[in-house]
Homo-oligomer: A and B are copies of this chain.
Amino acid sequence: MVGQHFVRFLEGHPWFKLTWVGASDRSAGKKYAEATAWRLEGEMPESAAALTVFDSKPGNAPQLVFSAMDASVATDIERAFAQAGHIVVSNSRNHRMEPDVPLIVPEINPDHLALVPAQRCKRKWAGAIVTNPNCSTVTLTMALAPLAQFGIQRIFAATLQAVSGAGYPGVASMDVLANVIPFIGSEEEKMEVETQKILGTVHNDHVLPLEAAVSAQCHRVAVVDGHTVATSVQLYHKPELREIQTAIEDFRGLPQQRELPSAPQRPVIYMAQADRPQPRRDAARENGMSVFVGRLRPCPVFDWKFVACGHNTIRGAAGAAVLNAELMVAEGLVR
């Protein structure tokens, strides 16, 4: 599924052109249109449909490859590509928490790309692996990024996650229709440690994670696209409501400065309406690349609580990886 999102997201991209598709050897040799059933809206882009699928081996692949591989196989395959000189921009979770692998949200921690030389050196790779976070972590960290200046001390995050986050066939309709599933395997752990790494600091050849306690509670709900994250945050400095709103509205990152093709004009958008953001009405706006924040109000336990919402398959997966690749081009890491 994430692969299909890559195909769609890359269609008409000004810098990148999809020329090579890899899959298991079971699909190798087929046309992409034959190898996969298109699950997204509309029809499969014709340029992708006509591509021949290759076995997932470095061989004739281009320098820059996006990985949407299942976690059960990603470790070895991604390493093989990196060793063979490819820049692997991965959405898989396998390498995210390795000390020398950058886990990047381009608006937040583009400086973590500084891990790449150490990674190459240590692993003797001609290429590299760079990762983007889990889909719910992206939404949370983007919403927190404007608050980092106030010193983030403790975080509560309860999610209401869309079914598209589970791939295809993913969540059985018998489980989620008119229901809530209060469990998503290893999702809470990912949100907790990935958030600390993203908001952390590069120190020599690794990242010192942010020393902030993070508690995540994850739920699957009957939503198609868009993760909602109810958040409470304790801050060292105590900003006023208006300071936080201003911080959100003024927040810009390197992708905006460099005008990267997939960068949203405003990475985090504050909504003043009482009942927004909402996944069905907001997540897909701005090409699905912004995160929406609303309901900013005092928290009786911490300092402030708010609701964040982002598009899990775009900003939380394919779009995140493509923006990572654009950042690496802009930084000269991909020719």
Contact = CB atoms under 8 A, between A and B. Distances in A.
Interface of A: 1, 39-42, 154-156, 158, 160, 163-164, 168-183, 192, 213-215, 217, 219, 221-224, 228, 230, 232, 274-282, 284-285, 294-295, 299-302, 305, 307, 309
12 contacts: A39-B174, A154-B301, A168-B174, A169-B175, A172-B172, A178-B178, A178-B224, A182-B276, A182-B295, A183-B295, A215-B300, A222-B223
A224 to B, nearest CB: 5
Contacts of A177: 163, 173, 176-178, 222-224, 280
Nearest to A1: B174
Contact of A285 (B41, B178, B277): B41
A163 B215 CA distance: 27
A278 B230 contact: no
Contacts of A164: 174
B300 A192 contact: yes
A178 B280 contact: yes
A230 B218 CA distance: 9
Given A182-B307, A219-B160, A295-B183, A280 B214 contact: no
Contact of A174 (B156, B169, B175): B169
Contacts of A276: 182
Contact of A156 (B181, B222, B301): B301
Closest 3 CB pairs of A and B: A158-B158, A169-B172, A179-B280
